[in-house]
Structure 1
């Protein structure tokens, strides 16, 4: 897969899934800038070959390998893309493939990606940099491993966390995330998009469901645990029109350029799980009414992105606490720029431009 080094070689290359909308949007952006279309290097070829080569003059963008059944099989080793299991294998194989990319000018740093795709490591890096994050007993490499539901229950007691999120350490798009609440008399409830089949296999669903039998919750967590788990205190979120709200903020080259409010009646605000876009102007007004400055809110996201200085673009999930006075970073996403029909923030330098 050596690129041509002739005079007509493209300036941009993208490692992605050729049929995917992410690649189409990036290609359109490059062409709109008056440049030749980028060379597309399929993830399936990279994964089979163990890498790819790029010419010295090529600027190389990595895009998500998701939404492609063949790439998913090569990464996770499961025959159904809707299955939840296999994220630890995905992480190892993804980093191996990234490590096999040679040449070119990279927009995504392999060392940064290794942290961004491990929620435990990412949380520790953010916390060490003074970025506000929810408290976590699983942050960093020295934290105790979570072997299953018994460990989750123990850590909930030891850290006085009656409400928390349990996440796959290497998951994305809310896959394997449980919002867990415990109450009196040992009652416990988990809200999640994970569907457990009769044979015990776990599947991603577009429908949010609640498990209220602790045996069912334990079975889900015990199945997820071999892939690695991360736990975070549940931050009660601010709301818009009675719906929980958070923000996805895109930071490019150190500057917050785009932002969207996500709202939901459920703890998971992901748009593909029934969340809806909220009112960004209303969020800004709420911050100012609470005595804050919108620039400081965006500044939290820029500080989070600064922890990954060799990666051009990240999407920061920002959690506003009730009252819009305090904020914490929930996650930082390496492939967090898929925000269709969203144009740049005023004063960002990206006014009128989409995220690509």
Structure 2
């Protein structure tokens, strides 16, 4: 079964990368930008301009967003390992070639078995180095996916933080780095997470539930019913919220605090019916409520927006304190306090954050 990061790797198709050297037979010059048309899974090469280009010579194109730290996974160090490995392979191949020329000398002294034994040692070492080289290239491929995903949502995060800060002015500005840190903590920006589910999605199984779609990178799950009720009221008040009577559901939940199961059974499944329509609703141009040609549950933009909106709710609930809001987003108790500590540890600086050890 493919790992989540290898599924996500497909999304690098169509993204821009900077070439670190001249590639594709001179078609791509060093320090210029090229669009990858096929990431090619775990292959050491991607496709650009219909040519194979070594992934180790690519750097994800990065556009800094004011106030948000870049996350780095240690690409330069991995490139050095790959280059060192290439050099070792060439040296080992030379040793084998040199040893092959000495067969006659061994034959003269009737030591052919000694020559064969030495050749076997040299060839086994070459095979080991080739395996190591292949492993390092696979690691490099995944590191490039991580580096890309870890910094892919900076603009989205900044935009929605600004949007809700204008709509619900906080006493103290929300640092966008908090949201980025939460997305990293919750799902490594969609590359790894306990609750990330792969399609096809449904309402019947826990493993493939719509609310666990792998695009839900800040893991807006624990209070998903309340969150989606809020988002339906905000984005589809006339189209879905009122026609399905969710204004009544909202009042009922406020008065007695409905449990998750009660949301799903409320008024013979009106909440579930509304939510399914909400995720799939399209306008005449075929665009969703977020203005994109994809269902909401498969839209990173929607899930980032939902998480930020929910954090604003928590902010008001805990007395307008962002640190406490972060803790409350995860719940209560020692685990939530530890969660807050990890989130905030990644904020407060402007320099790139090295996450290569994670």
Task: Give the TM-score, by structure 2 length.
Answer: 0.25
TM-score calculated relative to the size of structure 1: 0.25
More strand by proportion, 1 or 2? 1
The answer to which structure has the higher helix fraction is 2
Higher relative contact order (CA 8 A, sep 6+): 2
